[in-house]
Amino acid sequence: MLPLKEVIVLLSIIYGITSVSLKNEEARNNTQRNLRRFPPNFLFGVATSSYQIEGAWNEGGKGWSMWDHLMRTDPDHMADGKTGDIAANSYHLYKRDIEMMKELGVKIYRFSISWPRILPFGRPDYVNPEGVAYYNNLINELLANDITPFVTIYHWELPQNLNEQGGWLTENIVDWLGDYARVLFQNFGDRVKHWLTINEPYIHCNNGYGRGNHPPRIQSPGIAFYECGRNILLAHARAYHIYKEEFAFQGGQIAIVISSDMGMPSDDSESSAEAVEDYRAFYVGQYMDPIFSANGNYPQRLIDRVANASASQGLSQSRLRPFTQEQIDYIRGTSDFLALNHYTSKYVYRNSSIIGTFQVPSHQDDAFVGTYVDPSWTQGGTWLFTYAPGLYKLLVHLKERYNNPTIYVTENGFGDWATGLIDENRVAYLRGYTNAVLDAIDAGVDIRGYCSWSLMDNFEWAAGFTLRFGLYEVDFEDPNRTRRPRKAALVYKEIIRSRVIDPNYNPDPYLEDSNSSAIVVKTSALFILVSAIIHKLL
């Protein structure tokens, strides 16, 4: 039997622990009441793409994509020599993926459909019923869990036989993509109300047809790069018009996904201001202006600089093939909203130090600007540096330049070489960039939703599995591809639940239930249990 004095001390300690937990919870609630809130209709989501997560590369009647071809012919091109043959195995684990979305509380899932899984030979002569069934199951499961599908029609997964017939360098692809899009509208449009035609034209054309580090690995940054972009704009417009003319009765919306860093002047000089305008013309306006500007067409700065550079290189015509007026009119206005992918920012300059630093010809040489980042910015992957105000500045710029379009941020996230569940850099990135979204809302930007890239670790293209973007960690050495939430997932969950960004919220990803109210309950239960034991001893 314990002495009465020791019993009192023990009870006091337990009571003190409980009181501190309750006070911490109350303090956190008070803090949250004083923080800015996301509007009640603002939608949070997560994003992925088919090749990066699905796996099942040769299952279910799927044909070869140009990535499948690269994996068979040159797997050593990947940073780790790995392939996307299995990836995160979401073809078989999609229900677990949706469970994760439910855990987070998201209302949007942005995913892409694999062109060769639906049309194994690229054309609509044969529609693969197993592929249709897979995406029907995925879409139905999402809707059953109150999650809205945002479906990307093309996320870089071109059927290999179409690639061999010219891919994005032939204007035939305008018809090919249109026919493929029509099949998707026919099969899924009764339930999918948000369509995204093509993901990141600049990145796709630069990596596939400029730098050549993605398939089809063509290195032509001054010619094929522009032709790829031109055909992407025409193909996007074709898909848009097919939807509006043949499927308007479905009542959905359709847009294109544009990627953009934020280019900022390096100083107050006139040369920096000019450099920024040229940077934005080449890296944003090339794909934005033809769709979202009042007059359509490429930015005049882009047209003039490529024409002048082409002439100086002895060419009789510009390497940037012009649109006809009919094509300009066909492309202009073909987006019901702007789907924006943003990750990082750059300072932009132009001086003699960049002379001779670019390949000739190339779009980099045509733009003729230099860029750098602030060394104080947190670095993730090789190209990703954290500067959250850049997103705010970009959103305000788009509002002012393109007459305040409706915007969804369809990708934003932090990639790191590190594994593990404690991802403080990703947490800081997430808080900073969602705060930038709140700043943009306060500034009058018509932004309706935000999607974190990515729901889970995936096959990160040429980086293989070395670069991790996931809110959930995937164990790629485990045949079961086990997924576990990182700290950033729990922080995002709390932002979604509370609709505020609480800088003091500090979950422990190693606890099954890490919210503070659960800690209070567990402490209170401990108090009751110990009290009962002591009572029995007495």
End-to-end Cα spacing for the chain: 6
Collapsing DSSP to helix, strand or coil, 522 comes out as helix
User: In terms of residue numbers, what domain contains 233?
Assistant: 42-499
Same domain, 82 and 23: no
Same domain, 491 and 506: no
Mean pLDDT confidence for 477-484: 97
**Greater pLDDT, 502 or 17:** 502
Is residue 166 very low, low, confident or very high in pLDDT (cuts 50, 70, 90)?
Answer: very high
9-23, 269-283, 497-511 — which is least confidently predicted?
9-23
Rounded distance, CA 279 to CA 274, Å?
A: 9
- In this predicted structure, what is the pLDDT of residue 84? 97
Instruction: Note the residue count of the chain.
Output: 538
Quick: pLDDT tens for 236-258: 999 999 999 999 999 999 999 99
Same domain, 471 and 514: no
Rounded distance, CA 32 to CA 25, Å?
A: 11
What percentage of the chain has pLDDT greater than the value 70? 89
- In this predicted structure, what is the pLDDT of residue 34? 77
- In this predicted structure, what is the pLDDT of residue 519? 35
Mean pLDDT confidence for 161-185: 98
Same domain, 301 and 352: yes
Quick: pLDDT tens for 321-374: 999 999 999 999 999 999 999 999 999 999 999 999 999 999 999 999 999 999
Question: Into how many domains does the chain fold?
Answer: 2
Is residue 196 very low, low, confident or very high in pLDDT (cuts 50, 70, 90)?
Answer: very high
Is residue 518 very low, low, confident or very high in pLDDT (cuts 50, 70, 90)?
Answer: very low
- In this predicted structure, what is the pLDDT of residue 75? 82
Mean pLDDT confidence for 489-517: 84
- In this predicted structure, what is the pLDDT of residue 6? 56
Same domain, 9 and 138: no
The alpha carbon of residue 201 and the mean position of all alpha carbons in its chain are separated, in whole angstroms, by: 13
2-16, 107-121, 162-176, 522-536 — which is least confidently predicted?
522-536
Quick: pLDDT tens for 71-90: 999 988 899 999 999 999 99
- In this predicted structure, what is the pLDDT of residue 509? 84
Same domain, 29 and 50: no
Same domain, 290 and 404: yes
Residue found by looking up tokens 């950033």 in the block: 488
Is residue 511 very low, low, confident or very high in pLDDT (cuts 50, 70, 90)?
Answer: low
- In this predicted structure, what is the pLDDT of residue 26? 54
Same domain, 398 and 508: no
Rounded distance, CA 172 to CA 143, Å?
A: 35
Question: What's the mean pLDDT when you consider all of the chain?
Answer: 92
Rounded distance, CA 41 to CA 44, Å?
A: 10
Rounded distance, CA 204 to CA 229, Å?
A: 9
- In this predicted structure, what is the pLDDT of residue 524? 40
275-279, 333-337, 531-535 — which is least confidently predicted?
531-535
Same domain, 510 and 374: no
Same domain, 439 and 492: yes
Active-site residue list: 200, 411
Residue found by looking up tokens 């293989």 in the block: 464
Whether 1 shows a pLDDT value over 60: the answer reads no
**Does residue 152 contact residue 181 with C-beta atoms inside 8 Å?**
no
CATH number, domain of 85, equals 3.20.20.80
Same domain, 196 and 67: yes
Whether 25 shows a pLDDT value over 80: the answer reads no
Mean pLDDT confidence for 509-529: 45
Quick: pLDDT tens for 408-435: 999 999 999 999 999 999 999 999 999 9
**Greater pLDDT, 243 or 522:** 243
Mean pLDDT confidence for 196-214: 98
Same domain, 463 and 508: no
**Does residue 492 contact residue 105 with C-beta atoms inside 8 Å?**
no
Quick: pLDDT tens for 90-131: 999 999 999 999 999 999 999 999 999 999 999 999 999 999
